[in-house]
Amino acid sequence: MVTGTIPVLQTVGLTKIFRDFWWRARVEAVKDLDLEIHRGEVFGLLGPNGSGKSTAIKMILGLLYATKGRIAVFGRPPTDVQTKKRIGFLPEETYLYRFLDARETLDYYGRLFDQHGRVRRDRIDRLLEMVGLQHEAKRRIGEYSKGMARRIGLAQALINDPEFLILDEPTAGMDPIGTRQIKDVIRELARMGKTILLSSHLLADVEDVCDRVTILYGGRQRKAGDISQLLTRENLTQLTTEKLSENTIEQVRDLIHRLEGKELLNVTAPCDKLEDLFLRIVREAQASNIETSGARASGELPSFLGTSKDEDEGGVVIESLVEAGRRSPVVPETVEPALPPQANGGPSKAVLQQLTSKPEASPAEPSPAESAPQERRAPADVDRSVIERLVKDPDEGPSTSSGSGSGSKEGGRGE
């Protein structure tokens, strides 16, 4: 069993060099990557296509072998089978079996965790509900849209209630509703104390959910740190008030000039995010019961998630914990104020409470509330320009690095 002091993931000098048929080194996909992710963190691996994100993840999972360096997942080598009981993985594309339906797919992966039949069936039902595909469970994956397949991909990654979730481009191919749902799920999982490694080149995704990020370019680590520190522009101050008249604005401008000797740089009316507008329209359509063949509104996070984080084995133990989790909704009545309404039918108050209340917390481990980040940034008040400058696609502007070109092509496809 892992103690609280051991990082969930640690890489030291991780390097991957791809060789050609003649064994000549051709691409340095990852170079000297040092990562340390601790329990409860949501860690972002950020970078443009070909920056080495997926290669790094595959090494972390033991799917590729490091040319140099060391990897420890829960203090064990990445190929250790027992460690993988604690990991959930969603690859950059949803590589599922086209001839299986959603239920069969999840059943197959559940069996690989030695899950007891009843527990497995129960989890499958809840996960299908969570990803909004309970009505499409009998359709073959081959008939699914990319977004629907992505949802099943997420469900399979959660089938074992993982302690460490690795998500490679989780919102790729998803519509804004799905993207929002995925982000909500990530937030809730983080609140439950899960450790999440999120790889993406979509800045908004990372910014919305991550605590810390590492930015890769050309396989090398360019910048790393707490996301709020990275994004805060210390030399600027932003005030937000209700709408002001021109006269008041002029007076404020004068006051600032008089007291601080500085200029008021920008005065605008804040806009709604397009995402919010879109979600509002879709919510109205759903309220009118307009038919769609795609995924329904996402349901609640399954109650089994987070119940087995202190034990490795499935089967009876998990079952007992699931049972314990089912009893937990009794608690919230005395606790929470009303949560803000979810834009998309995401986790409700009662479910969230159910999810975040652990039946039994191990004394050796911090509770999810303690280990999870205490505060998440509001996305609107940060400056993205730092990240954008760093991850700017080399084809769109002057190169910032003399690294090994555009990186590796894995299986004929970049990241």
Partner 1 sequence: MSKLWAVSRHTIAAGIRMKVALFFVFLIALSVLGLPLVLEGDGSLAGAIQSYLTYVLVLIGLLLSLQTILLSWTLSEELVQRQILILMAKPVARWQYIVGKWLGIVLLDLALLTGAGLGVYGMTRYMAALPERIEGDHLKIGSEVLVARHVSQVHVPDFTAEAVRVFERRREEGYYADRPGVNAAEEKKKLRKAIETDWRIVPPFAGRLFTFRNLLCERAPDKFLQLRFNITVYNPPINDVVSCVWRFGDGREGSVEYPPIRRRYVKERIHTVQVPSDAVGPDGMLTVRFENIDPFGENLNSMPVFHFEEPKTLEILFTVGTFGGNLVRTLALLFCRLLFLASVAVLAASVFSFPIACISTMVFYGLIALRGFILDAFEYMNEPGIIGGFFTGIGWVLTQVYRFVPDWQKTNALELFADGRNVTLLWVFLGFGKLGLASLVLVGLTCLLFERREVSEVSV
Which residues would be at the binding site for partner 1 (CB under 8 A)?
Answer: 18-20, 26-27, 58, 61-65, 81-82, 84-85, 87, 89, 91, 93, 95-97, 99-100, 104, 108-109, 111-114, 153, 156, 160, 166, 408-412
Q: Which is nearer to partner 1, 95 or 240 (CB)?
A: 95
Helices 146-158 and 117-130: crossing angle in degrees, nearest 10, is 140
| Residue 335: other Cβ atoms inside 10 A | 10
3-class state of residue 211 by DSSP: coil
CB of 15 to partner 1, least distance (A): 15
Q: Which is nearer to partner 1, 147 or 346 (CB)?
A: 147
- Structure tokens belonging to residue 409: 């092509």
The residue among 227, 216, 225, 230 whose CA lies nearest residue 33 is: 216
| Phi, psi (rounded to 5 degrees) for 30 | -135, 135
CB of 99 to partner 1, least distance (A): 4
- Structure tokens belonging to residue 261: 């000797």
CB of 249 to partner 1, least distance (A): 56
Distance CA 316, CA 12 (A): 37
End-to-end alpha-carbon separation of the chain, Å? 34
Q: Which is nearer to partner 1, 113 or 217 (CB)?
A: 113
- Structure tokens belonging to residue 248: 């008041």
Core vs surface per residue 232-253: b (16+ CB within 10 A) or e: eeeeeeeeeeeeeeeeeeeeee
CB of 301 to partner 1, least distance (A): 21
- What residues contact 187, with CB distance under 8 A and at least 6 apart? 209, 376
Distance CA 367, CA 211 (A): 18
CB of 85 to partner 1, least distance (A): 5
Q: What is the DSSP letter of 132?
A: T
Q: Which is nearer to partner 1, 8 or 390 (CB)?
A: 8
CB of 94 to partner 1, least distance (A): 9
CB of 108 to partner 1, least distance (A): 5
